[in-house]
């Protein structure tokens, strides 16, 4: 092998979930030449499977992880500014079923017990919310908490259990399209560092004498010589380390599932807020409005199967029963479920600790270079979606130190993708739409939809759509030219990329055989697929939807 056949990069990042993408963007912003690869699509691992909360982590107050709460609330506040197109305030209500319960258990947990039973009364929740307000003060974007008694609670949410004693309401945030935000981080990185590259559907195959081989799907293998490797493979971290010749036991993952319910009456009672509630076994569950459906989650079950993870019947039964207990005034059944998903939290290996109490903090141990592997490998363990920027900054600082490169820019105030120049007040929004109507010729109602979906990138999409775009069959809020724009600009490789990650068509329960066939045919035209490829994409999609998302579509 000659040196000419080897591509040199300062940093190779393996795994393009939110943590890998965050480090990629940060390093690129400092002018470092990076390659990021993912064996699947960008953001298709755990980063596509969260509860979609951008939150301070109220429950981490119980475990005394105050540093994590302080960091998370700050990061939440930054994301509300920097990614205002996809991260929105979320009023959150906690139904409380007792006054004094849980104080002793909470003290035991604070003192280090790893098995304390969970139950939280009004006094405890009130104390927690006051602390949460305190920690959320840095770069504050949202109002403080409030508490109301049983009568007000039942007036606000009539279907609530009569056992209700009080309702606490506070503000967190939600991310409407986490997969899109991951892609936007990568695209921002590529813009900042022209020598950098990003490859989805590209697996790391092995390492020899400091040369890592990566295999892009359907293409020639490439040989990469990095100075530093960042292993950001989430729950696959130990497997990737093994491929690099390292024996690690960093990860002790837990699986969490979610279902989406088509339940208009539940949405009416939620009235735009999330319910963050305790199930009978003391676990915290949540239900929130999401893309016109109700998102319910999640579980916390030790697991080491990231490639086949799916929501089981038992988990579904648990969700539905917990909702019935909390909201006896509403009916819940399996036929309301339109989509399901699951993922593995890449938590640190923590033998003997109850899954719910394993720390959600992050760490980045480095395995130093050796004779046979002349580059160090830093593994990104744990963390939350919310804290990716802080985690990325910490890892980037260490990498810059090793490379001897100065930091040029901080990321605290760096907007992400379509969050750049996002209008934040009603007046600014109207002015933005009016200006875009003039420059694109699109209707203002259409621009409003696109602005909510893509942020200020809406301008380019509206111009591409023209005055009278063709509505997408079975999803008239989307247009054929909108998908055409995505296919041309957003590195789509497979049909599932566009249906499950570039758009919310999958998770919002809108997929029909007709729609999938139409999108396959638009994709075939733009991406030059043969008719055989088009059919195999539909077949693969059908298997994926059935095995991973509980959705059975007959493509005939
Ligand atoms: C059920 C659940 C609910 C959650 N809810 C929230 C929440 O509401 N808010 C919050 O802040 N956090 C939440 N989290 C946590 C958050 O989702 C994760 O911490 C975060 O997404 C982890 O991102 P990551 O980049 O480390 O891993 P991942 O997103 O898993 O990325 C790893 C990537 O590595 C790739 N990869 C694997 N092997 C290879 C290989 N050999 N070659 C190349 N690439 C490879 C994978 O394809 C994958 O894309 C939740 C997690 C779960 C599971």
pLDDT at 117: 47
| Higher pLDDT among residues 146 and 459, named by residue | 459
Q: Confirm if 236 and 45 have CB atoms less than 8 A apart.
A: yes
As a residue count, the chain comes to 556
Distance 29 CA to ligand 1 centre (A): 23
pLDDT at residue 513 tops 90: yes
Mutating to test ligand 1, I would choose from 18, 21, 45 the residue with most ligand atoms within 8 A of its C-beta, which is 45
pLDDT at 503: 98
Q: Confirm if 58 and 128 have CB atoms less than 8 A apart.
A: yes
- H or E element that contains 220: none
Q: Whose CA is nearest to atom 51 of ligand 1?
A: 50
Report pLDDT digits (tens) over 243-253: 999 999 999 98
Q: 206-221 in b/e burial notation, b at 16+ Cβ within 10 A?
A: ebeebbbebbeeeeee
Atom of ligand 1 nearest to the CA of 382: 19
Cβ < 6 A, ligand 1 pocket: 14-20, 37-40, 44-47, 49-53, 55, 203-204, 232-236, 240, 256, 298, 343-346, 380, 383-386
In angstroms, the CA 364 to CA 381 distance is 6
**Mean of the per-residue pLDDT values for the chain?**
92
Mean pLDDT calculated for residue range 48-73 = 84
In angstroms, the CA 361 to CA 347 distance is 9
Distance 385 CA to ligand 1 centre (A): 8
Report pLDDT digits (tens) over 12-26: 999 999 999 999 999
Distance 250 CA to ligand 1 centre (A): 15
**Residue ranges with strand state E in 62-133:** 87-96
* Nearest partner of 30 among 169, 147, 160, 196, judged by Cα: 196
In angstroms, the CA 376 to CA 198 distance is 21
pLDDT at residue 492 tops 80: yes
Distance 532 CA to ligand 1 centre (A): 32
Distance 383 CA to ligand 1 centre (A): 9
Angle between helices 388-403 and 66-82 (to 10 degrees): 90
Report pLDDT digits (tens) over 316-332: 999 999 999 999 999 99
Report pLDDT digits (tens) over 523-545: 999 999 999 999 999 999 999 99
With cut-offs at 50, 70 and 90, classify the pLDDT of residue 128: confident
Three-state secondary-structure class, residue 125: helix
């Amino acid at each position: 092998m000659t040196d000419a056949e080897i591509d040199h990069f300062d940093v190779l990042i393996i795994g393009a979930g939110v943590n890998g993408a965050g480090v990629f963007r940060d390093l690129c912003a400092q002018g470092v030449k990076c390659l990021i690869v993912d064996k699947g699509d960008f953001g298709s691992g755990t980063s596509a499977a969260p509860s979609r909360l951008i939150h301070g982590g109220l429950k981490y107050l119980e475990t005394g992880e105050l540093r994590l709460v302080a960091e998370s609330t700050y990061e939440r506040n930054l994301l509300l500014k920097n990614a205002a197109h996809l991260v929105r305030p979320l009023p959150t209500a906690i139904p409380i079923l007792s006054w004094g319960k849980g104080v002793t258990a909470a003290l035991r947990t604070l003192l280090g017990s790893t098995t304390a039973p969970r139950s939280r009364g009004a006094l405890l929740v009130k104390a927690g919310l006051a602390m949460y307000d305190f920690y959320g003060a840095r770069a504050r974007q949202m109002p403080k908490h409030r508490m109301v008694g049983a009568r007000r609670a039942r007036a606000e949410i009539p279907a609530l259990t009569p056992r209700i004693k009080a309702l606490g309401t506070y503000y967190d945030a939600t991310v409407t399209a986490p997969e899109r935000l991951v892609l936007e981080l990568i695209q921002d990185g590529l813009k900042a560092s022209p020598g950098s590259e990003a490859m989805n559907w590209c697996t790391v195959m092995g390492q020899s004498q400091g040369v890592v081989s990566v295999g892009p799907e359907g293409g020639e293998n490439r040989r990469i010589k990095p100075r530093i490797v960042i292993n950001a493979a989430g729950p696959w971290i130990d497997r990737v380390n093994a491929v690099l010749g390292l024996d690690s036991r960093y990860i002790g993952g837990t699986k969490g599932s979610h279902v989406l319910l088509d339940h208009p009456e539940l949405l009416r009672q939620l009235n735009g807020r999330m319910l963050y509630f305790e199930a009978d076994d003391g676990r915290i569950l949540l239900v929130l409005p999401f893309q016109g459906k109700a998102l319910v989650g999640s579980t916390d079950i030790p697991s080491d199967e990231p490639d086949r993870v799916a929501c089981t019947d038992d988990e579904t039964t648990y969700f539905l029963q917990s909702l019935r207990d909390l909201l006896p005034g509403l009916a819940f059944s399996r036929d309301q479920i339109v989509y399901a998903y699951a993922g593995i939290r890449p938590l640190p290996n923590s033998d003997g600790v109850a899954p719910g109490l394993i720390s959600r903090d992050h760490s980045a141990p480095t395995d130093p270079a050796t004779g046979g592997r002349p580059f160090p490998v830093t593994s990104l363990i744990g963390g939350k979606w919310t804290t990716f920027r802080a985690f990325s900054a910490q890892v980037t600082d260490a990498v810059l130190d090793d490379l001897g490169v100065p930091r040029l820019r901080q990321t605290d105030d760096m907007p992400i993708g379509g969050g750049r120049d996002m209008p934040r007040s009603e007046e600014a929004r109207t002015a933005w739409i009016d200006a875009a109507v003039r420059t694109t010729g699109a209707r203002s109602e259409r621009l409003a939809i696109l602005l909510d979906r893509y942020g200020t990138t809406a301008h380019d999409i509206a111009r591409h759509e023209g005055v009278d775009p063709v509505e997408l069959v079975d999803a008239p809020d989307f247009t054929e030219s909108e998908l055409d724009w995505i296919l041309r600009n957003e590195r789509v490789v497979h049909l599932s990329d566009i249906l499950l990650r570039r758009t919310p068509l999958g998770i919002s329960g809108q997929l029909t055989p007709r729609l999938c066939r139409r999108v396959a045919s638009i994709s075939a035209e733009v991406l030059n697929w043969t008719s055989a490829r088009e059919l195999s994409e539909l077949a693969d999609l059908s298997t994926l939807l059935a095995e991973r998302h509980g959705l059975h579509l007959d493509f005939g």
